[in-house]
Structure 1
Amino acid sequence: MIELGVNIDHVATVRQARRTYEPDPVIAAALAEQGGADGITFHLREDRRHIQDRDVELLVQTVTVKTNFELACAADVLSIAVRVKPDWALLVPESREEVTTEGGLNVLGDDGRIAAAVDQLKAAGILTSLFIDPDVNQVAAAAKLGVDAVELHTGPYALAKREAFDVELDRLRRAGEVACAEGMRLHAGHGLNYTNVRPVALIEGMIELNIGHSIVSRALMVGMRDAVAEMRRILDVVAA
């Protein structure tokens, strides 16, 4: 069975548009669990553009499936992760100029920062993963750091068309082979949706997929009718 991690960041994005208290990503996480999520993923960015410190605290306390804390190799968020102790920590690159994560960590070019973050997280008893591009050399470098898993960046695959689709899928397969041979769990995510997820799920050795934007987008559509109907019922009672 492929494990499904649901990323709830963009529920918080909607909330932060008004800087209010709804929609609450903590409630969204509970609903995702009810829908069959095997894990809840959340990214505490340095600029706090969506998930907030309060969310992290409550998510780790209330989520009953596994928690997957995305973070950069930055001292302040690392200290939070070590204190709250999620089940998993996923180290990702981060730029304040980007709209969303644009690529994987450059493990090959690590100056010691990634290695130090991995050591700090593992010392706290947190399972650790690296978000990397589907490059066999990056996978091999990740294995040398002793991480428990790699999450392959599926963004280029998700955007690929025609012949490029097969090329990107093959990159994911080959990177996956190396990850499995090195004894790491194989995860993948970024840009996966209801139409392109199946080929990635079928990659040999794939254990977990982390999907956020597509699920939140879908929820806005299929959940809107019930939300409007509920408001309609309230107003109908008032008018009666």
Structure 2
Amino acid sequence: MDQAPTAAPLRLGVNIDHVATLRNARGGRHPDPVRAALMAKLAGADGITAHLREDRRHIRDADMPRLMAEVGLPLNMEMAATAEMVQIARRLGPHAVCLVPERRAEVTTEGGLDVAGSVDALHGVVGALLDAGIRVSLFIDPDPAQIDAAAAVGAPVVELHTGAYAEAADATAELARLVAAAARTQEHGIECHAGHGLTEANVGPVAAIGQVRELNIGHFLVGEAVFIGLDEAVRRMRAAMARGRQAAAIAGAIGGVIGGATAGEGPR
């Protein structure tokens, strides 16, 4: 199972939604998600992710322009594929938008977007965002049909939902699904990201998938921040990602050497 066809850098997007969740528990201004984003930047984050939900349960409208103006990192705006959110995104002009499914009753995003079941509607949404100069990603399950549909609607990026992998008692089968899905994105020329439920302990095998270019991680980092601080949590996550990427690169190099030596032996 070839997980590392290239040694491309792996980016970390830090999701600061749950800093806003903590702030909103009291209804005030503290803790400030923008301050958290700045700390994440100093600790090595490559980008910031923030989900502006229709119910505004964590990130508020006023947070978005501040995250764009004050942090100095690319902002990935997660949002539902609704007319209201498309209008807001086109007005704000974030670096990227990731379209996700939303249900008001859910605690967190429970599954990937059903792109295959809404090709016509999503084609228009993706087009409207791309026309505004916004990079578009679709948050999907690692399902071949969903990846094919993402290509059909013109999405340049997909983010693979890693929740099933993160929650599995034996993650072998779910990791294989992610590896196969990442390879399929490459066949379509789609950039591959991944995220949801990733921790310092389980991120390594996902980081080892060579087609994956970015991981978006939030809840674990904010939770760890309670114990070790956000900056240290981000640094440790970056280190765990690097170990996974490096291990895959070494394995790939060894495989290449062995394969070359075997090919050079010729018939006996």
TM-score over 0.5 for the alignment?
yes
Q: CA deviation at 1:111?
A: 5.5
Sort the Cα spacing of 1:111 and 1:199 in 2 relative to 1 into closer, same or farther, 3 A: closer
Alignment of 1:5-44 (within 5 A): 5-44=13-52
Q: Structure with the greater relative contact order (CA < 8 A, sep ≥ 6): 1 or 2? A: 2
Percent of aligned pairs with the same amino acid: 52
In the alignment, residue 154 of structure 1 is paired with which amino acid?
A: T
Q: CA deviation at 1:112?
A: 2.4
Q: 2:108 aligned to 96, 100, 106, which one? A: 100
- Which residues of structure 2 form unaligned runs of 5+? 1-8, 231-268
- Which residues of structure 1 form unaligned runs of 5+? 225-240
Q: Deviations over 1:108-147 (max 9, x none)?
A: 1005222221111011010000000000111011011111
2:186 alignment counterpart = 180
In the alignment, residue 118 of structure 1 is paired with which amino acid?
A: V
What is the aligned residue count?
Answer: 222
Equivalent-residue separation in structure 1 for 2:35 and 2:83 (angstroms)? 28
Q: CA deviation at 1:75?
A: 1.5
Q: Deviations over 1:172-203 (max 9, x none)?
A: 01110010111111100000001000000001
Answer yes or no: is the 8 Å Cα contact 2:119–2:152 preserved in 1: no
TM-score scaled by structure 1?
0.90
| Greater than 6 Å deviation, 4+ residue runs | none
Asked if 1:167 is matched to 2:165, the reply is no
2:210 alignment counterpart = 204
Equivalent-residue separation in structure 1 for 2:119 and 2:211 (angstroms)? 30
Q: CA deviation at 1:214?
A: 0.4
Q: 1:129 aligned to 134, 137, 142, which one? A: 137
In the alignment, residue 25 of structure 1 is paired with which amino acid?
A: P
Equivalent-residue separation in structure 2 for 1:9 and 1:170 (angstroms)? 29
Aligned Cα RMSD in Å? 1.1
In the alignment, residue 176 of structure 1 is paired with which amino acid?
A: A
Equivalent-residue separation in structure 2 for 1:195 and 1:44 (angstroms)? 28
TM-score scaled by structure 2?
0.81
In the alignment, residue 216 of structure 2 is paired with which amino acid?
A: N
2:92 alignment counterpart = 84
Equivalent-residue separation in structure 2 for 1:95 and 1:128 (angstroms)? 21
In the alignment, residue 88 of structure 2 is paired with which amino acid?
A: I
